[in-house]
Amino acid sequence: MPAIWTITPKAPGTPPGAFALAKSNSAQYRLDLRPNISMGNRGFVRVISLSALFLALPLIGVLGTPVLWGLLPFLGLALWALWYALMRNRTDRESLHEILHLTREQIDLTHIPPRKPPQTWQANPFWVQLSLKEKGGPVENYLTLRGAGREVELGRFLSPEERATLHDDLSRALRHLR
């Protein structure tokens, strides 16, 4: 799951990034949510290479003719467009994330979208309501936080199973701090 918990003070024996309830009343929970990585560097190279190969196959028939020089710019443009789209997707995916900071006094949620200013929400965790709408929401397992007069979505880029797991972890943390 692309959720990394940072809990202070840390419970003994907790692996890094895993969720565990803190052993102190002055506990602080920090959650960093990021989207799943759909394609790594190796996949990027494979897609570009295979695309170049398949785009070059029709050029075999026109080798040694002036038609080759007329088709080459279009092949280059198609490869460049694919490369640009994949790189833009990668930078957007890397910049998109959510940070949730939870203490006994306050809960802060910051959603950082690509190429837009961050969106923030704050509330008192005692009054915050965490809800998971399994059916009937915009998506399956729609996860929201309600408090301070607003309802905000959490983990919009996660899968339904990841949102359900996040709901369980976050509800335990909220119960612990109340």
Statement: residue 20 has pLDDT above 80: no
CA distance 31 to 100: 5
pLDDT at 4: 85
Same domain, 66 and 83: yes
Which range is least confidently modeled, 90-94, 105-109, 173-177?
173-177
**Mean pLDDT across the chain, nearest whole number?**
88
* Terminal Cα distance for the chain, rounded: 26
Examine the pLDDT at 92 and tell me if it is beyond 70: yes
pLDDT at 1 over 80: no
Report the pLDDT averaged over residues 128-147: 90
Q: Look at the pTM and tell me if it is higher than 0.85.
A: no
Same domain (yes/no): 82, 103: no
Q: Predicted confidence band at 28 (pLDDT cuts at 50, 70, 90)?
A: confident
**Quick one: 100 and 13 in the same domain?**
yes
The verdict on 123 and 144 lying in the same domain is yes
pLDDT above 70 covers a percentage of the chain that reads 90
Please report the sign of the dihedral spanned by the C-alpha atoms of residue 90, residue 95, residue 98, residue 103. positive
pLDDT score of 25: 66
Q: How many CA atoms lie within 13 A of 97 on its CB side?
A: 14
Query: CA 132, 135, 139: angle at the middle one, nearest 5?
Result: 80
Q: What is the reported pLDDT for 72?
A: 93
Q: Is the same domain home to 57 and 86? A: yes
Residue 158 structure tokens: 């996660």
Q: pLDDT tens digit string along 94-105?
A: 889 999 999 989
Query: Which of 93, 110, 135 is the last residue before a domain boundary?
Result: 93
Do 135 and 72 lie in a common domain?
A: no
CATH code of the domain in which 25 resides: 2.30.29
8 shares its domain with 84 = no
Q: Tally the domains of the chain.
A: 2
29 and 67 share one domain? no
Alpha helices in 8-159 (DSSP H): 41-56, 66-95
What's the CA gap between 157 and 36, in Å, rounded? 8
Q: Which tokens sit at 120?
A: 């923030």
The mean pLDDT value for 96-125 works out to 93
Distance CA 3, CA 61 (A): 51
What is the domain extent for residue 75?
A: 41-93
